[in-house]
Chain A
């Protein structure tokens, strides 16, 4: 594993044009690392992803991105009837290498097919993207990032709406990609999911903490992250749950 950071943020603050949506973000992401951005809705997770993608400019601090980043977003429901096949979506990854007047060719489609095979969807290449299940759509978008040769995958709530087997398949795929040297950043509000990752960055409009999940996720950090009290479930083996709470 290389120790060279692919992405490095220091004291980063990002806004959507108004006051900062998130401040004080500092982290280093290395090849093969899986970083979970944990926080409540509106806490700034997606904002950080959008800053890494270059959609939002830093308001303060520095952000260095030294690797190609592939986006694996949640599919908006309104886009589910977009007229494309899984293969066409994966092939879009090739556009990152082509000048604007060139269309993806046979080689690009072959690479897309290989990438779909890599994520276990070879047989569904001809299916309409919107007709695939949520987990399959996530894997098609990962295939698009692989065709793009992205070294960093930015995933926004990838496990939301997936049932157990689909989530397990996706978790295995992500672990394999990390083992091959891809770095993965995932925005999530799922504490349990974040616990199995290499590191976790807790954010609630500012960075609360960062580090290995086991050392980082204590009661104090979680209360600051979610802005509310943590309730122990009797007989829950000491595990805490977080009541969704909005503080205004």
Chain B
């Protein structure tokens, strides 16, 4: 049980995973409530060419991921403005183009060995830079989500009503996507391009099944993310499975467990019976 904790590499892995889990669980609640899970997944995949270029150039992945995510966000915004192009079509075209470009670069002769860690992450071997950027992400998200809490809550609840209150739904959307982009570029180094979205969606989706207030939802999402992260790392340690994939698997299991638990939660069953009727 405590054996993995003796290993220095596992201590670092647990520290990195716990920081990413705190960030992913908390921010994920807003991703789920704003129904931008698809955007999260898209942003994650579209930074792949930036990661590959950074790997080829031998610079920190963060420096490749950041311009790529900005480029993807701008391309999506522009594509959605083209007449006759709906938003999800715009997203799909941009993401497949970017991801395809990344694959093309990854398969080029210049690409260094070990490119698959960009896809699946390297949660078991975080660098000092990874740990520092994950810690900085937690601080950034903690401050931003604390300050923006009321606005995010009111805007997600009722956009028209929020506008009547003098709030800007566009501001809330932009703030959320910028924080999400920051979260993804940091977390992608540990969890990989294909799996990073799991930590930004899974724990929060599970928490939503288990809670009916935003405060408890965030707390439960963070707890599920941290525990799933630990479970995944332990699985990886003892069974020898890939770290990022094991964490993603643990998150999926937590979500599946939340489904039946959510159904037996007090009050939950009353929702559809009571809604719309007066008594």
Q: Which residues of A contact B (CB under 8 A)?
A: 50, 53-55, 69-71, 73, 75, 77, 79-85, 88-89, 92-93, 95-96, 98, 100-101, 103-104, 128, 130-136, 141, 144-145, 148, 150, 154, 161-163, 165-166
Contacts of A163 in B (CB 8 A): 277-278
B interface, CB within 8 angstroms of A: 33, 146-151, 153-154, 156-158, 160-167, 171, 208, 211-214, 216-217, 267, 270-271, 274-279
Q: Is the CB of A79 within 8 A of B278?
A: no
Q: List 6 contacting pairs A-B, 8 Å CB cutoff, sorted by A.
A: A80-B271, A84-B214, A103-B147, A135-B278, A141-B161, A148-B165
Given contacts A53-B163, A96-B166, A101-B147, contact A88 B277 (CB under 8 A): no
Contact A134 B153 (CB under 8 A): no
Q: How far is the CA of A165 from the CA of B278 in the complex (A)?
A: 8
> Which among A84, A98, A148, A161 has the greatest number of chain B C-beta atoms within 10 A?
A84
A128 to B270, CA, bound (A): 11
A88 & B153 in contact (Cβ 8 Å cutoff):
yes
Q: Decide yes or no: A95 and B165 within 8 Å by CB, A83-B212, A133-B278, A161-B276 being known contacts.
A: yes
Expressed in whole angstroms, the minimum distance between the Cβ of A187 and any Cβ of chain B is 12
Q: Chain B binding site: helix, strand, loop or mixed by DSSP?
A: helix
| Extra 8 A-B pairs, beta carbons < 8 Å, given A71-B158, A80-B275, A92-B153 | A71-B163, A77-B275, A81-B271, A82-B156, A93-B165, A96-B166, A100-B147, A132-B275
Identify the closest chain A residue to B273 (Cβ).
A131
On whether A130 and B157 interact (CB within 8 A), knowing A104-B150, A150-B164, the answer reads: no
Q: Which of B151, B214, B267 contacts A100 (CB 8 A)?
A: B151
Known: A73-B158, A79-B158, A104-B150. A85 touches B213 (CB 8 A): yes
List residues of chain B with CB within 8 A of the CB of A79.
157-158
A144 touches B271 (CB 8 A): no
- How far in angstroms is the closest Cβ of chain B from A80? 5
Residues of chain A lying within 8 A (CB to CB) of residue B146: 103
Task: Assess the B151–A95 pair: CB atoms within 8 A.
Answer: yes
The reply to whether A134 and B160 form a contact with Cβ atoms under 8 Å apart is no
Given contacts A79-B157, A103-B150, contact A54 B163 (CB under 8 A): yes
State how many angstroms separate the Cβ of A141 from the closest Cβ of chain B.
7
Give, as a whole number of angstroms, the nearest-CB distance from B165 to chain A.
4
Closest to B207 in A: A83
Instruction: Determine the chain B residues whose CB is within 8 A of the CB of A148 once the complex forms.
Output: 164-165
Would you call B167 and A83 a contact (CB within 8 A)? Answer: no
Q: Are B270 and A53 in contact (CB under 8 A)?
A: no
Alpha-carbon distance between A55 and B164 when the two chains are bound, in angstroms: 9
Task: Determine how close the nearest CB of chain A comes to the CB of B44; give it in whole angstroms.
Answer: 25
CA distance A79 to B213 in the complex (A): 13
Q: How far is the CA of A131 from the CA of B249 in the complex (A)?
A: 33
- Contact A154/B153 with A83-B214, A133-B278, A133-B279 known, Cβ cut-off 8 Å: no
Quick one: given A131-B275, A133-B278, are A84 and B167 in contact (CB under 8 Å)?
no
Report how far A228 CA is from B147 CA in the complex, Å.
53
Residues of chain B lying within 8 A (CB to CB) of residue A144: 161
Question: In this complex, what residue of A is CB-closest to B35?
Answer: A78
CB closest chain-A residue, reference B209? A81
A70 and B164 contact, CB distance less than 8 A: yes
Could you tell me the distance between the alpha carbons of A88 and B276 in the complex, rounded to whole angstroms? 20
A154 with B164: CB separation less than 8 A: yes
Q: How far is the CA of A51 from the CA of B101 in the complex (A)?
A: 44
A73 x B161 contact (CB < 8 A): yes
> Which residues from A are CB-within-8-Å of B157?
79, 82, 84, 89, 92
In the complex, what distance in Å separates the CA atom of A133 from the CA atom of B164?
24
CA distance A134 to B275 in the complex (A): 6
Asked if B278 and A162 make an inter-chain contact with CB atoms under 8 angstroms apart, the answer reads: yes
Name which residue of chain B comes closest to A49, CB basis.
B160
Contact in complex: B213, A83 (CB < 8 Å): yes
* Distance of B103 from chain A, by nearest CB (Å): 36
